[in-house]
Amino acid sequence: MLDSATSLSVLRSRQGVATGVGYWALQFAGWGLYFWAQASGEVIFADVSWSKAATLWGGLCVSGFALTHLLRWIIKRGRWLSLPPRALLIRMLIAVALLASTLDVITIALSLAEYNTPVAPILGAFYRRLPPDGQRINQFVSSLIVTLIWVGLYLGFAVQRHRYDAQVHQAELAQLLHAAELRLLKAQLNPHFLFNALNGVRALIADEPARAQDAVTQLARTLRYTLGSNDDELVSLVRELEMVNDYLALEGLRLAERLTVVRDIAPEATKARVPVMLIQTLIENAIKHGIAELKEGGTLRIEAHVVNAELTIQIINPRPINAPVPSAQGTGLKNSSERIRLLFGSRASLHLDLSRLGEATAEVRIPA
């Protein structure tokens, strides 16, 4: 889980760098091209010297470059992209008007300085049939068009990136939520079991120190397995069954002759991967709601087989005949079943069968 979350954020920061580079490239290319087209056009069509044309359009493009960059800074700083469309439109219209006017004033100023005329020669050449006022209006319109193209391109890219980031963020959140859900659903060792086991060990220490030592070892292994289960989702069946054996040995301490266990594990099933602590949870249920509720106890059967690339695990236990249809049993079972769904989707199932009198069968099917 951690890995995929990290790789997602790496992806995200790379994406951020890429759009930063993209912006600068587009910014240089755009203004450079505009400079080249206008300056060379002016030399060709208005028959002016390159140095004058280059000074005029160079000055304008450097100003444009700086001013649009300033606008980008303002947009980012003010988080305009997160604004509702209406607010964004109003701000953009004001920005476009100011930017176009400023560019127009700069064009007029530079043109006056270079050529002593308010209209740049290239525009004068293009619109020579228009009266001077018309030429000046068209000069403003060309600044406006340049501004609009810049704003259009910028918004187009930025909005797309904004949306993309939101999607990545969404995916990341979903991933984290998924991981958190699985963590929550994962069974914890029941504290009741833990303290009862400790009480049993305390009773054994004086009379049967060897059994007490075994019990401490089994308890340590059980605890270690449970604590380690935070790291892995799936373990081999044989590993889970090792833990279950320790767990059953400890339950045997307290239930004594009331608990008998019969195992039928097909050799090909042992390699199969199962959700960690899943079988333990089912066994715990079988004891808590079944065997521990019976004065005379009973036999717990654990079976595992692989048929057609599907692992079937069955936990069969006796239960009190007059026991109510379980509702308390619900949460543990519901969590396990939800966990299986998150891990395997519809390819796996968990089913509790109480149809036979005085018996419960929990059945898990997962792809082997």
Partner 1 sequence: MKALIVDDEPLARRELRRLLAAHPSIEIAGEAGDIDEAHERIESLAPEVVFLDIQMPGGTGFDLLSQLDWLPRIIFTTAYDRYAVKAFDVNALDYLLKPIEPERLAAALDKLQATPLTARRAAHKDSPLEQLFVRDGPRCWFVPLRDVSVFSAEGNYVRMQWGQERPLLGRSLAALESKLDTQRFFRANRQQIINLEFIRSVDLGVGGRLHVQLNDGREIQISRRQARQFRERTTV
Contact footprint for partner 1 (CB under 8 A): 191-192, 194-196, 198-200, 202-204, 206-207, 253-256, 292-295, 320
Alpha-carbon Rg of the chain, whole angstroms?
38
Listed as own residue / partner, the contacts of 158-167 with beta carbons closer than 8 Å and 24 or more positions apart are 158/75, 158/81, 159/81, 161/15, 161/19, 162/81, 162/82, 164/15, 165/12, 165/15
- Please state the closest distance from residue 202 (CB atom) to partner 1, in A: 5
C-alpha 315/C-alpha 304 separation (Å) is 9
Q: Given the structure tokens 């995929």, which residue do they identify?
A: 4
Number of helices followed by number of strands (H, E) in the chain: 10, 7
- The distance of closest approach from Cβ of residue 209 to partner 1 in the complex, given in angstroms and rounded to an integer, is 14
| Least distance (Å) between residue 203 CB and partner 1 | 4
- Locus of tokens 């005379």: 296
Residue with Cβ nearer partner 1 (196 or 270): 196
Residue closer to partner 1 by CB (options 119, 253) is 253
229 φ, ψ (degrees, to nearest 5): -65, -10
Measured from the CB atom, is 308 or 322 closer to partner 1?
322
**By C-beta, is 93 or 328 nearer to partner 1?**
328
Minimal distance, residue 185 CB to partner 1, in Å: 21
In the chain, at which residue ranges do the beta strands (DSSP E only) sit? 234-236, 259-265, 273-275, 298-307, 310-318, 349-353, 359-367
Closest CB 251 distance from partner 1, rounded Å: 10
Can you tell me the distance from the alpha carbon of 368 to that of 365, in angstroms, rounded to the nearest whole number?
9
Kind of pairing, strands 359-367 and 273-275? unpaired
Q: How far is the CB of 220 from partner 1 (least distance, A)?
A: 17
- Residue 177 tokens read as 């939520």
Question: How far apart are alpha carbons 313 and 310 in whole angstroms?
Answer: 10
Nearer to partner 1, 237 or 253 (CB): 253
Smallest distance from the beta carbon of 199 to partner 1, in angstroms?
4
C-beta of 158 vs 198, nearer to partner 1: 198
Decide: 244 and 205 in contact? Cβ < 8 Å. no
Looking at the Cβ atoms of 50 and 195, the one nearer to partner 1 is 195
Nearer to partner 1 by Cβ, of 24 and 195: the residue is: 195
User: Closest approach of Cβ 294 to partner 1, in Å?
Assistant: 6
Q: How far, in Å, CA of 129 to CA of 142, rounded?
A: 17
Beta carbons of 319 and 289 less than 8 angstroms apart? yes
